[in-house]
Structure 1
Amino acid sequence: MRNRIYLAIALLTFSFSIIRMGSSLDALAHGYGSLAVGVLISLLAAFPALLSLSWGRWIDREGERKPVLVAGIFTLLGLVIPAALPTGSFGLVPLGLGCCFAGIGLMSASLSSQRMIGALSSPETRLANFAWLATATAAAGFAGPIAAGFVIDRAGHQAAFALGAAVALLGLAATIDLSRRLPRAPGSKANKKKTGAFDLFRHPPVRNVLIISAMVTIAWDLQTFVFPVYGNAVGLTATEIGWLVGTFYAATFFVRLVMPFVSGRVSEWQFMVFVMLMGAAAYFLFPFFTSMPPLLACAFVLGTGLGASQPNVMSLLQTQSPTGRTGEAIGLRSMLTQAGHAALPLAFGALASVAGVFWIFMAMAGSLGAAALFAQTIGRSQALEEPKPLAKK
């Protein structure tokens, strides 16, 4: 069952990575600026930011059968729309719609897969299984941008979206097969009681994981904005930009392969401090280079740092969440991070239009440095504490 989950999430992530990179390059190729790119990247996260919490609660109540199917259908729609309606004739609307559908599809796939892997894992295998799940997404994230850049340079943006749609169709078939194998019985009944949107923030271990996760994930997804914009500004081809994004994901793939072998020697919070320091260094150095070798090196350092975060965060949420509310905790994390992804590209797009891309890199480097100090502080005071149950109302 776990292998089927890994396959489905890899196929859908591959398609998502194509529209994430292809929409930016398509908009830039038709004369739209960095602000338009920021809007498109924000649309990938806007609806997940609004829906993630209620989606997680839905999965807790009803199980994963329907959310898994929604993931396949919506991701396919997200690629079919821009493939069928070219930007040159229809403007940014098809790209925007595609980003909206693809964002919801990947959100549903991510929440469902994380909850299923957690349920299928024992305490001894949990971190390793989440590392394999993250490795599957990293492999797809590596292959997707490279394939998209290669196809764009040789056949155009519509062909790249068509490739993404074909892979998304395979992903839909995988989700249908997975859905048929899941139990028809609903999920946990423990979350039937209506709670406030931020009720889980009353649980300190969950709150700390959510805050640090939001900081790291913002840094993770920022590369989807700055890599195409900066690469285009310094004259890189679509293929070169694809290799830049692909190198980032190759690094995440590598670090997740070795994580199970070092996880027993390094605590989760030590991993988080390492993640943000590596990210700060990479973002600081990136805008000082314009040629491929040093840019690829910076992308690899960034991917190595940020790639270590996701398996640890997913494992922590499984162990720290109150009984029957794992999906809600995962959804709350997704809501917070996606809200940041929806807002920050707009802000960074506006900043790039006024002050240039250089200051985006500097702002992110400084933010990650401050976040590393914050993680060090809470890690010392709370990482070793036992999870405490929520107070009853």
Structure 2
Amino acid sequence: MGLLQFFLTLVISCLNMAPLMTARMILPLVLLQTGASAGFVGLLSAMFTAPPIVFNVVFGRWVDRTGTFRPMLVATLLLAFPSLILLFSDASLTFLLVAGLIGSGGVFSHIAATRAVGEISSDLKRARNLGLLIAGYSIAQFTGPTISGLILEHFGQNMAYISIGFLSVFGFCLLLLPWHAFRQWAKHRDATVARSRIRELVRVPGLKRWLAVNTVTSGAMTTFPLIVALQSAEIGMSASQAGFSLGAFSIATVASRALTGPVSARFPATTAVSSMLAAGAVLFVSIAYVETFAPFVMTCAALGLVLGMCAPFVLSVIYALAPSARVNEVIGLSMTLTNTMQTILPLSLGILATGFGTSAISWMLAGLMLGAINMSIRS
């Protein structure tokens, strides 16, 4: 694995993560500013994950057959341009359509990127490299919401819509270059992949439990922009303050994920994941009761620090447990389970937040994370 190849693969993958996190924050903020209910904002947040539920496994099989290049092109286009539709129509249904397209692009990009990085990494370096990938995600997820929050506050909604997919346009240009792992993998991939039944995968020892753990940890992280949007509106923060808070969460994950290698060398995945889930549950409960900007930012950063360590450990275990010819199908199944949870939670808790505030979301996520500890230990 060449350094340039790995670096360019990471850059393309990370640029594609900025629009998803940015849209998860900017679109709810715009709706809340225009008087939308918390229930509709919850429906919008659910739309980021509802369409991919249908196509995750199919997309994973497509990657298994054809390699990662063409699927990554499709994912990048879905991230770069849909937000421009809002320049021509700001109807409620348009917001839901844009959320579905961007959400699908983000999930598909993650499936292709995980496969590309995983395949060019040795067994000993896979957890570290996946940690670097997700750390790179965090940098992009800091940059996107922070910039778009400032643009929304100072230049208005239309400029904010344009800014959502801006970084993915650069990713698309880089994807046309020949030196990344997406194009190389497409040349060597065996296109004959059997279409076996999904239930055969969940019978793999330990895989079902780690898929459940991944569902909870991913759900906790990807629901966080909704919590920031609702909580910031509830305590009266500006759009730029909300963007900075979400950026603090994202940038804190960089520090935590950069430590994946040393931590994985000293602690088994079970110990590391269960410890971080316990700390995250406590922080999620506390964030619902923070009422000023500075403590809110600090709590967001602390959550990013502990939750950021979970993803590379869980992904590495799932990758190791999955049958070698069906890795992307397993990743697609994992994303389907995650998206199902991410669809149900915002939709139901968005309605609850209308009457009970954001604490309902925080308590629910904390409870799920505590349940995931049992899953990881028993695996």
- TM-score bracket for this pair, using the shorter chain length: over 0.9
Separation in 2, partners of 1:353, 1:253: 33
**Which amino acid is 2:250 matched to?**
Y
Q: Which residue of 2 aligns with 1:182?
A: 184
Whether the 8 Å CA contact 1:18–1:161 is kept in 2: the answer is: no
The question of 1:314 aligning with 2:304 is answered no
The question of 1:21 aligning with 2:25 is answered yes
Separation in 1, partners of 2:159, 2:342: 27
Separation in 2, partners of 1:134, 1:149: 22
**Deviation for aligned residue 1:184:** 4.8
Structure 1 range deviating more: 361-370 or 348-357: 361-370
Structure 1 range deviating more: 352-361 or 274-283: 352-361
Whether the 8 Å CA contact 2:349–2:360 is kept in 1: the answer is: no
Whether the 8 Å CA contact 1:86–1:158 is kept in 2: the answer is: no
Whether the 8 Å CA contact 1:22–1:148 is kept in 2: the answer is: yes
**Deviation for aligned residue 1:360:** 2.1
Whether the 8 Å CA contact 1:59–1:187 is kept in 2: the answer is: no
Q: Which residue of 1 aligns with 2:150?
A: 150
Whether the 8 Å CA contact 1:66–1:179 is kept in 2: the answer is: no
Q: Which residue of 2 aligns with 1:200?
A: 201
Whether the 8 Å CA contact 1:77–1:98 is kept in 2: the answer is: no
Cα displacement string for residues 16-37 of structure 1 (whole angstroms, at most 9, x for unaligned residues):
2221111111111111011111
Separation in 1, partners of 2:142, 2:165: 17
Whether the 8 Å CA contact 1:13–1:140 is kept in 2: the answer is: yes
Separation in 1, partners of 2:188, 2:33: 47
Whether the 8 Å CA contact 1:78–1:100 is kept in 2: the answer is: no
Whether the 8 Å CA contact 1:19–1:98 is kept in 2: the answer is: no
- Secondary structure class of the residue paired with 1:360: helix
Separation in 1, partners of 2:50, 2:155: 30
- Secondary structure class of the residue paired with 1:315: helix
Q: 1:340 to 1:315 in 2, by over 3 A?
A: same
Task: Flag structure 2 segments of 5+ consecutive residues without an equivalent.
Answer: none
**Deviation for aligned residue 1:183:** 5.1
Q: Which residue of 2 aligns with 1:96?
A: 96
Q: Which residue of 2 aligns with 1:268?
A: 269
TM-score, normalised with respect to structure 1: 0.90
Separation in 2, partners of 1:42, 1:180: 30
Q: Which residue of 2 aligns with 1:6?
A: 10
Q: Which residue of 2 aligns with 1:211?
A: 212
- Secondary structure class of the residue paired with 1:195: coil
**Deviation for aligned residue 1:232:** 0.3
Separation in 1, partners of 2:48, 2:152: 21
Q: Which residue of 1 aligns with 2:253?
A: 252
Q: Which residue of 2 aligns with 1:40?
A: 44
Q: 1:245 to 1:336 in 2, by over 3 A?
A: same
**Which amino acid is 1:211 matched to?**
A
Q: Which residue of 1 aligns with 2:53?
A: 49
Separation in 1, partners of 2:97, 2:278: 36
Q: Which residue of 2 aligns with 1:277?
A: 278
**Which amino acid is 1:220 matched to?**
M
Task: Flag structure 1 segments of 5+ consecutive residues without an equivalent.
Answer: 383-393
**Which amino acid is 2:27 matched to?**
S
- Secondary structure class of the residue paired with 2:193: coil
**Deviation for aligned residue 1:158:** 1.5
TM-score, normalised with respect to structure 2: 0.94
Separation in 1, partners of 2:101, 2:40: 18
**Deviation for aligned residue 1:359:** 2.2
- Secondary structure class of the residue paired with 1:236: coil
Q: 1:184 to 1:271 in 2, by over 3 A?
A: closer
Identity %, equivalent residues: 23
Whether the 8 Å CA contact 1:62–1:186 is kept in 2: the answer is: no
Separation in 2, partners of 1:198, 1:156: 49
Cα displacement string for residues 308-344 of structure 1 (whole angstroms, at most 9, x for unaligned residues):
1111122112211112111111111111001111111
Separation in 2, partners of 1:52, 1:213: 15
Separation in 2, partners of 1:180, 1:285: 41
Whether the 8 Å CA contact 1:189–1:324 is kept in 2: the answer is: no
Q: Which residue of 2 aligns with 1:386?
A: none
Cα displacement string for residues 234-253 of structure 1 (whole angstroms, at most 9, x for unaligned residues):
10111111111111111111
**Deviation for aligned residue 1:189:** 4.7
**Deviation for aligned residue 1:48:** 1.3
Q: Which residue of 2 aligns with 1:343?
A: 344
Whether the 8 Å CA contact 2:120–2:181 is kept in 1: the answer is: no
Q: Which residue of 1 aligns with 2:120?
A: 120
- Secondary structure class of the residue paired with 1:263: helix
- Secondary structure class of the residue paired with 1:188: coil
Separation in 1, partners of 2:316, 2:182: 27
- Secondary structure class of the residue paired with 1:203: coil
Separation in 1, partners of 2:368, 2:127: 28
Whether the 8 Å CA contact 1:74–1:101 is kept in 2: the answer is: yes
**Which amino acid is 1:160 matched to?**
A
The question of 1:65 aligning with 2:64 is answered no
**Deviation for aligned residue 1:231:** 0.8
Separation in 2, partners of 1:180, 1:278: 36
Q: Which residue of 2 aligns with 1:363?
A: 364
Q: Which residue of 1 aligns with 2:234?
A: 233
**Deviation for aligned residue 1:285:** 0.8
